[in-house]
């Protein structure tokens, strides 16, 4: 009874001292827990993710330096979408292996199971909205219905000509190398075969992944700006020719070639370019010299990824093109009823079958040189560096040259 009365007579300060004396460690622990919880909540609320999230899956590793350059470039195409006062991107790079099969390579899944699993995880739970994908992985996304049709976000006037469609003709992507932005620092580090595409928005996606609608809207704005970017200083040639053969005096003929080819064009001030690759040997076989080895590699690079459309080739290199199915058939180009005389392999013609001796530049070449034109981009299985419209204009000149001179020869 006496203790009770004493406790009732304690002042507030005495009461606090009594509580502290008996429960100070519990109070300290509880206080620390409250501080921890408060700090965690503040960080959770204040910490925001990157403004732009990109997923790259392809055969080319992106170094940290390349990623830094990509981030620097994308600053000009993006804003501080999450309002955290800074711009940042997240770029997940999944490198896959390829085995060459003469058509530029196909994905070898035996070596890529781990990459495939990472890719599957990312498209189901990851943050990325902008994708740069190897064709195989692009096709997986198409099958899963994960991509945004570009017609929904890109106006017809800004739609890239050489786009990538599904079986129904709906446009879902574009080869990054076909965009003007591909010339910018960092972006050129993506493989030229990478397809740029946009993940469906969370509101329309059948798979719930790690982005909010607001996050996606920011990434969509950056994606559209990349597609619409135009390089005012970019020079696109009207006529692109490649010569690869043994003639060592070709340098004297290049100016003549320009005069000849541009004379068949329908407009003035035609932009012409020729890529010349010299071989060494006796014109009967490719000698296994270091010079020829380098020349053939240069030829293959131009064949698989270059701008050239019209080819003037030594017969052995023509055979390589035929073997890899890189040339347009003359039946496709001229029509079945208008085939010129002297066609070889269905897709080439010797200069000896044409009346070209009087044409500037051509008089320097061997009559056994084969004139041919590469397959159109729309019919290619492996992407190269030109648009369908550019191929068609080169085809028109190719047809005029052969029909005019073949008729004279006949």
The pLDDT tens digits for 151-189 are 999 988 788 777 889 999 899 999 998 888 988 999 989
| Per-residue pLDDT at 37 exceeds 50 | yes
* Class in CATH terms, 239-409: alpha beta
The answer on pLDDT for 247 being more than 80 is no
Q: Of 138, 110, 108, 101, whose CA–CA distance to 123 is shortest?
A: 138
pLDDT for the residue 406: 67
Model-level pTM greater than 0.75?
A: no
pLDDT at 103: 41
pLDDT surpassing 70 at residue 40: no
Band (pLDDT 50/70/90 cuts) for residue 383 is low
> In which residue are the tokens 């994708």 written?
131
Which of 235-239, 304-308, 336-340: highest mean pLDDT? 336-340
Look at residue 109 in the predicted model and tell me its pLDDT.
60
Q: What is the predicted pLDDT for the residue at 101?
A: 39
Residue 120 has pLDDT above 70, yes or no: yes
In this predicted structure, what is the pLDDT of residue 254? 82
Confidence band of 344 (pLDDT split at 50, 70, 90): very high
Task: Indicate if the pLDDT at residue 378 is higher than 60.
Answer: yes
pLDDT value at position 343?
94
| pLDDT tops 70 at residue 111 | no
What topology does CATH give the domain 52-228? D-Maltodextrin-Binding Protein; domain 2 (3.40.190)
């Amino acid at each position: 009874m006496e203790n009770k009365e004493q406790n009732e007579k304690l002042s507030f300060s005495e009461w606090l001292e009594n509580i502290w004396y008996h429960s100070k460690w519990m109070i300290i622990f509880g206080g620390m827990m409250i501080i921890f919880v408060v700090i965690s909540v503040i960080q959770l609320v204040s910490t925001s993710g990157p403004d732009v999230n990109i997923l790259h899956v392809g055969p080319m590793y992106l170094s940290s330096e390349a990623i830094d350059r990509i981030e620097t470039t994308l600053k000009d195409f993006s804003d501080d979408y999450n309002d955290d006062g800074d711009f940042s991107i997240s770029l997940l790079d999944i490198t896959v292996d390829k085995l060459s099969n003469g058509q530029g390579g196909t994905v070898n899944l035996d070596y890529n199971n781990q990459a495939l699993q990472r890719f599957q995880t990312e498209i189901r739970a990851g943050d990325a909205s902008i994708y740069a994908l190897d064709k195989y992985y692009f096709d997986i996304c198409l099958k899963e219905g994960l991509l945004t049709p570009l017609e929904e976000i890109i106006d017809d006037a800004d739609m890239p000509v050489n786009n990538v469609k599904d079986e129904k003709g709906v446009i879902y992507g574009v080869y990054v190398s076909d965009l003007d932005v591909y010339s910018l620092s960092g972006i050129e580090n993506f493989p030229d075969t990478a397809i740029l595409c946009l993940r469906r928005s969370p509101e329309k996606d059948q798979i719930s992944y790690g982005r909010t609608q607001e996050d996606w809207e920011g990434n969509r704005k950056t994606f559209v700006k990349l597609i619409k970017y135009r390089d005012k200083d970019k020079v696109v040639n009207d006529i692109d020719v490649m010569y690869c053969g043994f003639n060592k005096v070709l340098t004297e003929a290049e100016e003549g070639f320009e005069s000849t080819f541009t004379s068949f064009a329908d407009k003035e001030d035609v932009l012409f370019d020729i890529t010349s690759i010299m071989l060494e040997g006796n014109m009967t076989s490719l000698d296994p010299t270091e010079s020829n080895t380098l020349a053939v590699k240069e030829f293959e690079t131009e064949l698989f990824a270059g701008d050239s459309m019209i080819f003037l080739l030594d017969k052995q290199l023509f055979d390589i093109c035929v073997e890899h199915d890189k040339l347009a058939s003359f039946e496709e180009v001229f029509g079945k009823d208008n085939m010129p005389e002297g066609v070889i392999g269905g897709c080439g013609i010797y200069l000896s079958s044409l009346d070209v001796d009087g044409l500037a530049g051509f008089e320097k070449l061997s009559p056994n040189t084969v004139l041919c034109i590469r397959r159109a981009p729309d019919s290619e299985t492996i992407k190269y560096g030109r648009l369908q419209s550019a191929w068609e204009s080169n085809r028109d000149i190719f047809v005029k040259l052969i029909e005019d001179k073949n008729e004279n020869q006949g």
